[in-house]
């Protein structure tokens, strides 16, 4: 589909993809502000970047068995993708190809609700991503502490956390193509021990263990938060859309293959782990798969799986930091953040964005696994509500806008698709603890105040803001561009 670019409404037409007669350009030929900075990311690295944005393998799913037992854990990773993962991936495919730029979901919300709410979306999703990234050093050390007890706490753990963060931050600095290549290698290495463990466990499998359940003994808060954390963040890849080779075709294809890979990487190891050893729910905590590997294959398999867990957490860290830092760069290119956030390193990476994201990770690394998961889920839920609203409003107000990939079903289908995940969001929020709720609402309030403060600083010229001339402009004629008046 083409976009009209004539007259004074050139930018508005590009932004909204209105289909009228006149002079046209293909949407995928819009210039990118990242031109000549970096080599673009192709399908295979993008699949594994999405894999690490969302999953990284079964490390961290153990709590679902402890919370709800084997049957509900297995059913959760079969049913939950239909309620949440597939709708989120479909929305990401449509909106990501509609707006192939690094601000990702920020520009989706800006185009539908205006720049104020676009900023709130960016703040909540960035903070949620940084909180999420603080989890990976925790998981990394949890898997290694059984072999290296000194990493269980104290100064050695602090030093290891900081050292790991600095090393992985440097990898992000070196470039997204390096990160993508690392993601492919780490993904294969991280999943191979589970294939070996599955083959070795076949003689010892007891299918009856898969059906064990006790509905009177379910920790719904831990169960839902763990499922939600392990199967969300499909939209994070949208903040890398400006770095993707031919995003119109590459992004939907990569999301499809990543979805299959993620579901299999959870369900198969759980099936093997539950069936291979007697069920003891209390033992199913972070790092328990390494104990199962010891029982099934011996010390060598345990060490391999622990190394795979460590590599997996490295992959999740670099993928998440890439999305978080490029999001800040994209927001700066749209004039939502000071201009210095748009500064790129000589490798084409967002230098200031990487430093800010790494600092947030270090500040939050003292939190526990459960606290991190609950806090980031709470913020993530608010951000997803804004995305659903933007997705539906753009369908209603601009049905003929250029959508290189379009979710079938029309506007009614779009609304129906968003109902189950919205209900799930309400359930997750309902089960949140008071402490997590208060901290998260304070974080939301900071964003509500921060945006007008930044606008005031821009007006007083205390900080320099700029809008990339190569991007459609949503700030001018807000009454025209905003879909909510």
Question: What is the SS3 assignment for 269?
Answer: helix
Using the predicted structure, report yes or no on whether residue 297 has a pLDDT greater than 60: yes
Contact yes or no for 389/110 (Cβ under 8 A):
no
Residue 344 DSSP class: B
- Separation CA 54–CA 89 (nearest Å): 11
| 41 phi/psi in degrees, rounded to 5 | -85, 135
Determine the pLDDT at residue 274.
94
What does the pLDDT look like over 348-375, one tens digit per residue?
A: 778 888 888 887 777 766 666 666 666 6
Residue 418 pLDDT level (bands cut at 50, 70, 90):
very high
Q: Is 274 helix (H, G, I), strand (E, B) or coil?
A: helix
Average pLDDT over all residues of the chain: 80
User: For residues 247 and 254, what is the distance between their CA atoms, to the nearest angstrom?
Assistant: 10
Contact 466, 339 (CB under 8 A): yes
Lowest mean pLDDT among 107-111, 135-139, 248-252, 269-273: 135-139
Mean pLDDT value across residues 177-195: 86
The tokens describing 442, both together, are 């304070």
pLDDT of residue 439: 79
Confidence check: pLDDT of 23 > 70: no
- Rounded mean pLDDT, 192-196: 94
Q: Which residue has the tokens 């959508």?
A: 403
Query: Which range is most confident: 20-29, 252-261, 317-326?
Result: 252-261
Count Cβ atoms below 10 Å from residue 448 Cβ, excluding itself: 12
Of residues 419 and 167, more confidently modeled: 419
Averaged pLDDT for residues 198-220: 90
Give the separation between CA 47 and CA 323, rounded to whole angstroms. 14
The pTM for the full model equals 0.79
91 and 407 Cβ atoms separated by less than 8 Å: yes
Q: Is the pLDDT of residue 121 over 50?
A: yes
Q: What whole-number percentage of the chain has pLDDT above 90?
A: 30
For the segment 149-160, the average pLDDT, to the nearest whole number, is 72
Question: Looking at residue 469, what is its pLDDT?
Answer: 62
pLDDT given at position 477: 38
* Position 59 pLDDT exceeds 80: yes
Q: Which residues of 178-205 are buried (b: 16+ CB within 10 A; e: fewer)?
A: bbbebbbebbebbbebbeebbebbeeee
> Is 48 within 8 Å of 180 (Cβ atoms)?
yes
Looking at residue 39, the DSSP 8-state letter turns out to be: P
Token pair in block for residue 10: 């050139």
Helix, strand or coil, per DSSP, at residue 232: coil
Give the per-residue SS3 of 405-435: CCCCCHHHHHHHHHHHHHHHHHHHHHCCCHH
Helix (H/G/I), strand (E/B), else coil: 23: coil
- At 472, the pLDDT band (50, 70, 90 cuts) reads low
């Amino acid at each position: 589909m083409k976009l009209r670019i004539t007259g004074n409404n050139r930018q508005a037409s590009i932004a909204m993809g209105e289909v009228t007669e006149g002079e046209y350009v293909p949407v995928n030929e819009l210039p990118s502000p990242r031109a000549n900075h970096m080599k673009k990311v192709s399908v295979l690295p993008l699949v594994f970047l999405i894999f690490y944005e969302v999953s990284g393998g079964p490390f961290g799913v153990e709590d679902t068995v402890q919370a709800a037992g084997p049957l509900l854990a297995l059913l959760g990773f079969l049913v939950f993708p239909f309620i949440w993962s597939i709708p989120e991936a479909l929305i990401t495919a449509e909106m990501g190809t509609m707006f192939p730029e690094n601000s990702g979901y920020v520009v989706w919300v800006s185009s539908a609700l205006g720049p104020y709410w676009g900023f709130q979306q960016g703040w909540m999703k960035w903070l949620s991503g940084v909180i999420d990234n603080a989890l990976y050093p925790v998981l990394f050390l949890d898997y290694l502490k059984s072999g290296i007890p000194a990493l269980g706490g104290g100064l050695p753990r602090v030093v290891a956390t900081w050292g790991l963060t600095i090393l992985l931050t440097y990898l992000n600095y070196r470039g997204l193509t390096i990160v993508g290549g690392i993601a492919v290698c780490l993904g294969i290495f991280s999943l191979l021990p589970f294939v070996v463990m599955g083959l070795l466990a076949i003689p010892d499998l007891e299918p009856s263990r898969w059906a064990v359940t006790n509905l009177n003994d379910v920790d719904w808060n831990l169960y839902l938060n763990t499922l939600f954390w392990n199967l969300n963040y499909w939209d994070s890849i949208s903040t890398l859309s400006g770095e993707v080779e031919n995003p119109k075709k590459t992004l939907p294809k990569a999301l499809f293959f990543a979805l299959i890979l993620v579901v299999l990487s959870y369900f198969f190891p759980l099936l093997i782990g539950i069936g291979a050893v007697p069920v003891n729910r209390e033992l199913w905590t972070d790092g328990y798969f390494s104990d199962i590997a010891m029982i099934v294959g011996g010390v060598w398999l345990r060490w391999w799986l622990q190394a795979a867990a460590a590599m997996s957490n490295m992959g999740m860290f670099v993928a998440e930091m890439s999305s978080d830092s490029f999001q800040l760069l994209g927001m700066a290119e749209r004039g939502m953040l000071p201009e210095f956030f748009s500064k790129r390193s000589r490798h084409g990476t967002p230098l200031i964005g990487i430093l800010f994201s790494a600092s947030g990770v270090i500040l939050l690394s003292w939190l526990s696994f459960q606290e991190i998961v609950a806090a980031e889920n709470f913020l993530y839920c608010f951000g997803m509500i804004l995305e659903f609203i933007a997705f539906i409003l753009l369908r209603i107000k601009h049905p003929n806008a250029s959508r290189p990939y379009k979710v079938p079903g029309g506007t009614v289908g779009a609304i129906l698709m968003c109902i189950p995940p919205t209900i799930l969001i309400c359930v997750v929020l309902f089960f949140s603890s008071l402490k997590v709720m208060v901290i998260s609402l304070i974080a939301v309030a900071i964003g509500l105040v921060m945006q007008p403060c930044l606008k005031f600083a821009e007006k007083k010229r205390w900080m320099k803001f700029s809008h990339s001339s190569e991007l459609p402009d949503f700030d001018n004629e807000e009454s025209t561009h905003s879909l909510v008046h």
